[in-house]
């Protein structure tokens, strides 16, 4: 695209911010092709051999500010490869990877991603948590929340609850709760211009003002949920100061307990990326707040202790106990290596979930009541007519050592193509029961979904919504 297609007000804004010379360099960057990136899923890929295979297959080069981030060339199309369906990586614009790197999530923490769809930052946070702690990932819009839940599932993430709620609904439930909060705020999208021409048509000075007002409202709820001593990362994919530096200045002016720890911009004329702004804020912890926090921590620990008193956690219903017993009986035969020690089982209708928890917070159905929850942690399966049927999410969260029976297929094989199209496969007559279908990569193989073997055939249990069209 050419800078001639950019709004005149936008070009004036850039020249005012950067000056004539650098402003022109910025505007000239729109003559260059957009950048493409992916981020390796470190929850699944733990061997250099597998990562090297991906680097060679897609001609990857490193993103300097993210150790798991890589640039790829458009013609390699990693989003169309079976490795993508297996959750080996997440397609993400490289500049956007900078926000979570600065947030610096740690295993075992209680974390919130407040405006999370489609899931780039959520999946990056979850990888850094390494399966330990609790991540609540929220998206207010129903269709985007569905996509968010699907991406969490594809990446094999266990410890994330996906909610669909307005920020005030969450702040009422979780006051001063989270160690870290990621707020990738809805913005005017100036960093999307090279990627999505429709963003240019939607941009105006009025839209910038509208976005800034919305961002301020969301920020206030985010700060209300940040515990003393906690860290908040605020990011946008836009360039103007109104939605970025001026927004942070307002926070610092109106919340004296907040302090700025770091601030970073990725500019498309200086770095290889579409552009991003990140500010990292910390809530200072006063002595009286430390005492109050200690009280809440003790209460949370008490909740955790109560959760451990029964494998049914806070639930005591007979149906839940029956469902949990059906799952554990099934898992002994079909998924013997799977560990379900962390988390609290809950039953939503027929669906059996494992709710994650952290040292500080045990989430139960009561805490989630009244808000929509597209994904209440890890969906283990459904309890129907006194039997357990495993969920697709359970296959995606499984590891190689967990599986009793595996059908490992080559990425370029006709059998794998048939499976992804929903077809039945021919297998050994000796193979019986639930089988995890995997794709080979390097020296390992990675789950794509379930099949059920009987009489020399593998019935396809890949969800219909994930099957490829002929």
| Token couple for 305 | 């202790």
Reply yes or no: is the peptide bond before residue 60 cis, omega within 30 of 0: no
Q: Are 322 and 311 in contact (CB under 8 A)?
A: no
How far does Cα 448 stand from its chain's mean position? 18
Determine if residue 360 is left, alpha or beta; phi over 0 gives left, psi from -120 to 50 gives alpha, anything else beta. alpha
Query: Roughly what angle, to the nearest 10 degrees, separates helices 8-18 and 20-28?
Result: 130
- Sheet with 378-384: strands ordered across: 344-348, 351-355, 378-384, 387-390
Determine if residue 324 is left, alpha or beta; phi over 0 gives left, psi from -120 to 50 gives alpha, anything else beta. alpha
Phi, psi of 290 (to 5 degrees): -60, -45
- Taking the CA atoms of residue 296, residue 301, residue 305 and residue 311 in that order, the dihedral angle to the nearest 10 degrees is 90
| Annotated active-site residue in 187, 211, 237, 441 | 237
Please name the residues in contact with 3: beta carbons below 8 A apart, sequence gap of 6 or more.
11, 27, 28, 30, 31
What is the spatial distance between Cα 132 and Cα 359, in angstroms, rounded to a whole number? 10
Which 3 state secondary structure label does DSSP give 227? strand
What is the spatial distance between Cα 459 and Cα 470, in angstroms, rounded to a whole number? 18
| Location of structure tokens 């990425």 | 411
66 labelled catalytic: no
| Token couple for 74 | 């458009």
Closest CA to 422 of 437, 410, 433: 437
Phi, psi of 35 (to 5 degrees): -95, 150
Rg (CA), the chain: 23
Q: Are 30 and 4 in contact (CB under 8 A)?
A: no
Phi, psi of 296 (to 5 degrees): -70, -35
Catalytic residues: 237
């Amino acid at each position: 695209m050419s800078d001639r297609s950019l709004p005149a007000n936008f070009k004036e804004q850039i020249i005012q911010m950067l000056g004539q010379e650098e402003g022109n360099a910025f505007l000239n960057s729109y003559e260059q092709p957009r950048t493409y990136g992916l981020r390796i899923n470190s929850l699944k890929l733990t061997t250099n051999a597998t990562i090297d295979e991906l680097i060679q297959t897609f001609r990857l080069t490193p993103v300097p500010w993210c150790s798991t981030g890589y640039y790829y060339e458009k013609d390699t199309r990693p989003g169309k490869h079976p490795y993508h369906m297996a959750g080996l990586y997440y397609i993400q614009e490289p500049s956007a990877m900078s926000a979570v790197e600065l947030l610096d999530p740690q295993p075992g923490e209680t974390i919130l991603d407040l405006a999370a769809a489609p899931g780039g930052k959520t999946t990056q946070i979850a990888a850094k948590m390494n399966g330990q702690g609790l991540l609540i990932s929220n998206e207010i819009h129903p269709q985007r929340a569905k996509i968010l839940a699907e991406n969490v599932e594809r990446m094999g993430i266990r410890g994330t609850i996906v909610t669909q709620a307005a920020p005030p609904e969450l702040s009422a439930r979780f006051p001063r709760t989270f160690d870290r909060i990621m707020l990738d705020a809805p913005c005017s999208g100036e960093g999307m211009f090279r990627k999505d021409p429709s963003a240019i048509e939607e941009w105006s000075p009025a839209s910038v003002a509208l976005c800034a007002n919305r961002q301020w409202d969301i920020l206030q709820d985010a700060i209300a949920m940040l515990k003393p001593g906690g860290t908040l990362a605020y990011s946008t994919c836009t360039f103007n100061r109104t939605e970025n530096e001026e927004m942070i200045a307002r926070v610092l002016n109106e919340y004296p307990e907040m302090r700025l720890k770091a601030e970073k911009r990725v500019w498309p004329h200086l770095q290889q990326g579409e552009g991003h702004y990140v500010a990292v804020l910390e809530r200072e912890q006063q002595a009286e707040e430390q005492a109050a926090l200690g009280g809440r921590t003790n209460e949370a620990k008490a909740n955790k202790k109560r959760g451990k008193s029964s494998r049914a956690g806070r639930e005591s219903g007979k149906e839940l106990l029956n469902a949990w017993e059906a799952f554990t009986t099934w898992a002994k035969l079909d998924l013997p290596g799977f560990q379900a020690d962390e988390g609290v089982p809950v039953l939503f209708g027929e669906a059996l979930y494992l709710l994650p928890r952290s040292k500080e917070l045990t989430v139960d159905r009561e805490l989630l009541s009244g808000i929509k929850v597209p994904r209440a942690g890890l969906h283990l399966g459904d309890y129907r007519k006194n039997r357990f049927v495993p969920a697709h999410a359970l296959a995606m969260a499984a590891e190689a050592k967990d599986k009793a029976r595996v059908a490992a297929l080559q990425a370029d094989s006709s059998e794998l193509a048939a499976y992804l199209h929903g077809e039945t496969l021919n297998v050994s007559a000796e193979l019986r029961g639930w089988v995890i279908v995997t794709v080979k990569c390097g020296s390992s193989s990675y789950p794509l979904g379930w099949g059920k073997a009987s009489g020399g055939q593998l019935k396809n249990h890949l969800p219909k919504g994930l099957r490829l069209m002929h």
